[in-house]
Structure 1
Amino acid sequence: MLSILVPIYNYNVYPMVLELQKQCIKRGIVFEILCQDDASQSSLNAFNENVNALSNCSFVSIKEKLAHRENRNSLAEQAKFDYLLFIDGDSIIIHDNFIKKYIDNLHDFDVVYGGRLHPEKCPSDDQKLRWKYGRFIEDKTAENRKKKTYSSVLFNNTIIKKECFNQVKFDAHLKKYGHDDTQVSYQLSLLQARVNHIENAVEHGDIDINVVYIKKTKESLENLIALYQSKKIDVVFVKLLRFYDFLRKTKSTFIIAKIHFVLERALVRNLTGNNPNLLLFNWFRIGYLCSIKQEN
């Protein structure tokens, strides 16, 4: 019935898999849990090897890096069952009825998204930017997510019918970090897939330090531009892209890029400090987006 797919990179996934297995057995469902490390060569894989001792569970560390989106595609290809639960390896299961709640809400839907939460307290000042953005921007109730049914779907904690996933998949042409979910969610909107949002969140366990998140933010914006240029996504689907498209049409991107060049160091100092400002982070994202070279 259910294939639980866990892409991993440099993280101890064993505690989460143990909890998921326990809940599946308690629910009495047919299941498998497939875990795949993306060539991290991490010492934590010594713990992950213990997954192979659990019934209906497997762990493998591949030798050549696939990148997160291709790791997900690879896991989906290996899956035996009709429903795929994608759950990131750095997730923490915080509800003892997590599996039951998903199973109870599958009827009449192609996709069910449970959401994600960040801890109430930031683990350290070095993680403040990612934590703040996650907790105050990304973390949303099911009621709020339903207002933007498709664009609110993230694949950190989502069940999708395998036949539906096979029609969308993650875009292997994107090589950098970010906006994997945006591309797939847009494809789901074109299919008019039946999507449900429920309260069944996992907690984000491995929060990026500030400098790493800045780097990932840049890469994700480069991916967003690549999707925009290749017309693989409609500008109306992403708020940031709508604003960028407006700036481009009004020939304002050059000015914004110049201002960003002057302010970038000061912005980065704030964003990598112990009290990053999310308004400045928005300006950083817009400025960097306008700075990316475009094909005419």
Structure 2
Amino acid sequence: MLSILIPTYNYNVFPLVKEVSEQCCIEKITFEIIVLDDASQNFHVENNKINSLDNCCYSVLNQNIGRSAIRNLLSTEASFYNLLFLDADVRIISNQFIKNYLGFIKGNSNYGVVYGGIVYQENRPEKNQLLRWIYGNKREALPAEKRNENVYVSFLTLNFLIKKEVFQTVRFNEDIPNLRYEDLLFSFDLMKNKIPLQHINNQVVHNGIETSEVFMHKTNDSLKGLKFLLSKNYLPADYAKISAVHNLLKQTKLLFLINLIYKMRKNSFKKNLLGSKPSLFIYDIYRLGYFSQL
């Protein structure tokens, strides 16, 4: 009835698998949990314990294939009609997590895709982790009601339910660089194919907040990825907010101001973003400037 699919890389995913497995057993459903390790070097001993759990399987790929390809591979190995994708670095916070998805499946047999959402830890993290924490809370940890205002763009791939037949129609694009934004492209393809996407409040916690420095590096990579998607016409410029704003500034001949501010203040922007009081306004200006320079 339910295939739970988890890609992992250098992460101990056993606690997550154990919790999800126990919830499935409580609900007395037919299920499987498949974990694929994308050729990482660590946590093999811990993750091999997954194979001791009923209906659970852990295996390691011979070579790294990236975020898009591993999700597609997981879907081909799934036995059941309903696919639940979870990222390895999430934590289940509700003992009704599986039950909530099952209730949705039973009550909405014609669903396409369902996104459960994400939350971040309540406690303020260390100073060097603040940017990721503030961004996550302000931009990603939104209730379903807020996410439903912008249904497709609000979608993230760390906690979603999808019919197998839908996934066979809209798969993750394996031709793009492994630079993030694959979730945005996936959501655009869902919209383009008129696949219904619904948001519910069935959140997981995102574990292991990275440092602000690592998050800035990932930000730069993701903007390079977005630039690639736009250059190859995978996405229209108005789909992602940052490229839409960039185009608007370009059309109104105001982009030179962003470029000038970015060149003059880039170092002070970084100092703020890596400091104890990071500003999301400065973060957005930094991203616009960086994106414009690509």
Q: Same fold by TM (over 0.5)?
A: yes
Q: Contact 1:5–1:85 (CA<8 Å) still a contact in 2?
A: yes
Question: Alpha-carbon deviations, 1:197-240, whole Å to 9, x = none?
Answer: 11100000021111111010011111111111212112332222
- 1:33 counterpart residue number: 33
Which of these residues, 127, 146, 149, is aligned with residue 151 of structure 2? 149
More deviation, 62-71/12-21: 62-71
- Residue 254 of structure 1 deviates from its aligned partner by 5.0
Looking at structure 2, the residues matched to 74 and 247 of structure 1 have their Cα atoms a distance apart, in angstroms, of 40
- 1:88 counterpart residue number: 87
**Aligned runs of 1:203-218 on 2, under 5 Å?**
203-218=205-220
Q: Contact 1:112–1:197 (CA<8 Å) still a contact in 2?
A: yes
Aligned letter for 1:186? F
Looking at structure 2, the residues matched to 125 and 189 of structure 1 have their Cα atoms a distance apart, in angstroms, of 39
Q: Contact 2:67–2:178 (CA<8 Å) still a contact in 1?
A: no
Superposition CA RMSD, Å: 1.5
Q: Contact 1:254–1:290 (CA<8 Å) still a contact in 2?
A: no
Aligned letter for 1:171? N
- 1:77 counterpart residue number: 76
Gaps of 5+ in 2: none
| Fraction of identical pairs, as percent | 36
Change (3 A) 1:199 1:264: same
The aligned length equals: 291
Q: Contact 1:176–1:219 (CA<8 Å) still a contact in 2?
A: no
Aligned letter for 2:40? S
Looking at structure 1, the residues matched to 173 and 270 of structure 2 have their Cα atoms a distance apart, in angstroms, of 30
- Residue 251 of structure 1 deviates from its aligned partner by 4.8
- 1:228 counterpart residue number: 230
Looking at structure 2, the residues matched to 101 and 195 of structure 1 have their Cα atoms a distance apart, in angstroms, of 16
Aligned letter for 2:16? M
Q: Secondary structure at the match of 2:51?
A: helix
1:55 aligns with 2:54: yes
Looking at structure 2, the residues matched to 86 and 234 of structure 1 have their Cα atoms a distance apart, in angstroms, of 27
More deviation, 250-259/62-71: 250-259
Aligned letter for 1:163? E
Gaps of 5+ in 1: none
**Aligned runs of 1:56-205 on 2, under 5 Å?**
56-106=55-105, 107=108, 108-205=110-207
